[in-house]
Amino acid sequence: MFFENFSIGTDIEEIERFNNKTIEKDSRFLNYIFTNNEIAYCFSKKFPQRHLCARFCGKEAVVKALYGLGIEHITYKEIEILNKETGLPYVNIKKIPGIKIKISLSHSKKYATANVLAYKNN
Ligand SMILES: CC(C)(COP(=O)(O)OP(=O)(O)OC[C@H]1O[C@@H](n2cnc3c(N)ncnc32)[C@H](O)[C@@H]1OP(=O)(O)O)[C@@H](O)C(=O)NCCC(=O)NCCS
């Protein structure tokens, strides 16, 4: 069936969880969840917590979408969310070949959210 190759995932989180995180003080926490490229992107912004939280939502949404395709055992860091020059976010998952993922992120002062579409190529 055509639709068995597709799955979606979503997440919403309170940005407050990521308030006052700094690279110096919270490197253990940050490095557990985020790649160096993600950390560099988020901390280049005026409100890093919004971008950290959006990426965290993105990772949770990817996990949900992958579960829907029967794929488990992936860690936060194996899901990398970066941005093209236009700002468009995209997902790198080196561990699983044959998976295509589309992602959309959004954040306000209080909340961040992510939506994901995943496609398995077989
Ligand atoms: C890209 C855009 C839609 C982002 O919307 P926003 O309300 O400012 O911000 P949101 O919190 O909803 O979304 C932010 C996220 O959008 C994503 N984003 C940024 N540029 C994007 C793009 N070109 N395409 C898709 N997503 C994009 C990013 O993931 C960003 O979060 P991140 O920096 O943490 O990765 C907005 O900045 C923009 O360019 N709007 C165009 C406005 C316009 O041209 N209007 C006239 C026609 S309606």
pTM metric for this prediction: 0.94
pLDDT 10s digits, 10-54: 999 999 999 999 999 999 999 999 999 999 999 999 999 999 999
Counting the structural domains of the chain, the total is 1
Indicate which CATH number applies to the domain containing 42.
Answer: 3.90.470.20
pLDDT 10s digits, 72-93: 999 999 999 999 999 999 999 9
Q: Is the CB of 106 under 6 A from ligand 1?
A: yes
In this structure, what is the dihedral angle of CA atoms 101, 92, 34, 15, given to the nearest 10 degrees? -30
For the chain, how big is the Rg over CA atoms in Å?
Answer: 14
Q: Is the CB of 10 under 6 A from ligand 1?
A: no
Q: How far is CA 7 from the centre of its chain?
A: 16
Ligand 1 pocket test, candidate residues 105, 111, 116, most atoms within 8 A of CB: 105
Which residues span the domain enclosing 55? 2-120
Helix (H, G, I), strand (E, B) or coil at 69: coil
Q: Is the CB of 86 under 6 A from ligand 1?
A: yes
